[in-house]
Amino acid sequence: MKIQRFDKSTGYLSHNGYSDRQTRLFSSLSLAVLLFSFVTYLGETYRFHIERWDDAYITFRFAQHLSEGLGLVWNIGGERVEGFTSVFHVLLLSFGMILGMDPWLWSLLLSVICVIISIVSMLVILYRHTGMIHPIAAAMIGFYLIDKTTAIHSTSGLETQLFVAVLGLNLFFALEFIDFPRWSLAVFLAVTAFVACLTRPEAVIYVLGIYLALAVSGVSKTDSRKKFLAIVGKLGISAILIASMGLMYVIWKLTYFGYLLPNPFYVKSGKFAFAGLDEVTAYLEHLSGWFLPLLVCVIVGLFVVAKKSESTSSRLRAIYSEVMERSALRRTWIKLSVIALPALMGLGFYTTIIHEVGGGFRFSYPTYFYIVLALGFIVTLMISVTRRHRGVEIALVCVAVFWLGIVFVSHRAWKFEPASLSAFGRFHTRIGEALRETELGSNGTVICDAAGVIPYLSGFNQVDRIGLTDNFMSGRSNPTNEEREDYLWSRPADVYFGNEPPASMGAEDASQDPIMNSRYVSEELIKRRLTLVESRIFVQDPKLLHARMRHLRDDWELVGEMDWPGWKAWKLKSFVYVRRGSPYLRILLPKFQRLIRYTPDQIDLNDLDRE
């Protein structure tokens, strides 16, 4: 872990600048910082591990059916449907389930392993391409580990940490290719790029950024046309390899599903220009609070070094020259561009999408890896010029360790007791367990909006109004609202969970029904501003809404209003119905009695202040 200078014979930097004693001291301190941060990360992971993210159980259900030989289907005996984000994640979870592992535990272990891979990738990249793991760079990696978003995305059961790990490996091969443009690295670059695209579709943007930066680096680092053509040729073959693998995947997908484009619900960009700008801004503000104070201290340290000379301006020029020299004849700056460009393109893309179901900066989070690594590069280069002023460097190291401690304490990372399951997690679990107790399994069918925990725990088939797991309701054929309603009520369902009360007896249209004038229906159902998800759940046209309410009145038995946390959050009620024509009516009705807060005669549609 020493300062290095460029060695043309190896392509890397040769060690220079620190004594063996200083190297051992800094190496030990960096190791201590990383170990402390990783233990804290494990504690934070334990803290958040109980929570159930509903979307994760969508992936679990697809993986379960695949492991059972049923294929990529949502309902047993149902159609093939691409209702998941990551086919690679589904395959990995399915493999674990074949081995007998619980998907929740396996997804947790997989995410922790992926975080380890990401951290190791950071450390190897920093060491090989800057020459050391400076304690200040180690502290920045420590921030990444201590940040609760890293633990949240390790316990969510989603593909986020897997995606980051694959992107990290792809970046590693890209940086190696700059120094050693070999065929083997070009192949590994292509393979990791393709796997990243199977993990999350927007990986195409990151991969494009990597290849663009590598092409530019080929121009910058070669002094002959022959070398340039050789590098670009290998990159071209690598890109062709990605395209070939992508073509095989496209053929398989068309053959298997019968369509190529993803579920329209997952297409969150396009007409929503800069819909994610606020979320990306909040994400960058979050990172600034962690990293900016330390970066400012390093810059101040450089000015302190400059002021120790007679001429500040001449010293600043000397510092710039020394940094450039230590960046291996500009090669490190080329590598920095390879790190930064994919992150910038990714953030640019994320400003255009709707961040639906995006807790913990889920969509922007993959850029975190690149940002930390870029800062590590910059800080290592900047701090290297202070080596003649040990007092300044030691002071900066002390500041970094102190700031890490401040962050640790202020974010209460020391509280290792597990957080309780959220109100929505408890609600979905209770419903799933109640349905499971019927032992109906796939013989029963439920209509509900939460397409994760409830269907997975119960084993019931499900009709998903949002359309995540239903080809028709997803909007592939662009159905009208009337067609969606006809489809919904034509399904042979047994249980319905929804926000609509039944129509009044004898009322055959909205104008005749006093319930339509109740505060709950007129203010909360008809006039509420709908999110993207809610636009697929609610019908606000009075005619369609009342038609739905008549279906519930004529064909379904209202069990009651449930004790749903959505009432406090959004002033929305949740009613449970059992279809009168269901052969399982007598089995189902008793299971919901303990989940009911208000019986049908206690429901008040005008008191919106009722607790």
Question: Is 17 part of any domain?
Answer: no
| Same domain for 382 and 434 | no
pLDDT digits (tens, 9 = 90+) for 530-552: 887 888 889 999 999 999 999 99
Mean pLDDT score, 406-419: 72
What is the rounded distance in angstroms from the CA atom of residue 380 to the CA atom of residue 315? Answer: 19
pLDDT digits (tens, 9 = 90+) for 134-156: 888 999 999 999 999 999 999 99
Question: Is 15 part of any domain?
Answer: no
Question: Is 608 part of any domain?
Answer: no
For 260, list phi and psi in degrees, rounded to 5: -110, -45
What is the reported pLDDT for 603?
A: 94
What is the reported pLDDT for 333?
A: 77
| Same domain for 243 and 386 | yes
Q: What percent of the chain has pLDDT over 90?
A: 57
DSSP H helices in 351-480: 367-384, 390-410, 423-436, 453-458
| Same domain for 266 and 325 | yes
| Same domain for 183 and 49 | yes
pLDDT digits (tens, 9 = 90+) for 92-110: 999 999 999 999 999 999 9
| Same domain for 463 and 383 | no
| Same domain for 73 and 131 | yes
Question: Is 503 part of any domain?
Answer: yes
What is the rounded distance in angstroms from the CA atom of residue 139 to the CA atom of residue 118? Answer: 16
Q: What percent of the chain has pLDDT over 70?
A: 86
| Same domain for 447 and 403 | no
Question: How distant, in Å, are the alpha carbons of 2, 197, 384 from that of 135?
Answer: 12, 34, 12
What is the reported pLDDT for 149?
A: 93
Last residue of a domain, one of 410, 445, 479: 410
Question: How distant, in Å, are the alpha carbons of 328, 442, 587 from that of 438?
Answer: 69, 11, 7
What is the rounded distance in angstroms from the CA atom of residue 294 to the CA atom of residue 282? Answer: 19
For 309, list phi and psi in degrees, rounded to 5: -95, 165
Question: Is 25 part of any domain?
Answer: no
Averaged pLDDT score across all residues of the chain: 86
When mean pLDDT is compared across 200-204, 290-294, 323-327, 341-345, the lowest value belongs to 323-327
Report the number of distinct structural domains present in the chain.
Answer: 2
Give the H or E element holding residue 496: strand 495-498
| Same domain for 453 and 383 | no
| Same domain for 403 and 453 | no
| Same domain for 527 and 403 | no
More confident residue, 561 or 469: 561
pLDDT digits (tens, 9 = 90+) for 432-484: 999 999 999 999 999 998 889 999 999 999 999 888 888 888 888 888 999 99
Question: Is 23 part of any domain?
Answer: no
Check whether 66 has a pLDDT greater than 60: yes
Question: Is 10 part of any domain?
Answer: no
Mean pLDDT score, 85-89: 94
What is the reported pLDDT for 181?
A: 87
Structure token pair of residue 193: 């790029």
Angle at 115 between CA 110 and CA 119, to 5 degrees: 150
| Same domain for 471 and 396 | no
For the residues of 88-128, what is the DSSP string, one character each? Answer: HHHHHHHHHHHTT--HHHHHHHHHHHHHHHHHHHHHHHHHH
More confident residue, 237 or 607: 237
| Same domain for 427 and 385 | no
What is the reported pLDDT for 310?
A: 52
Could you list the residue range(s) of the whole structural domain that residue 475 is in?
A: 423-602
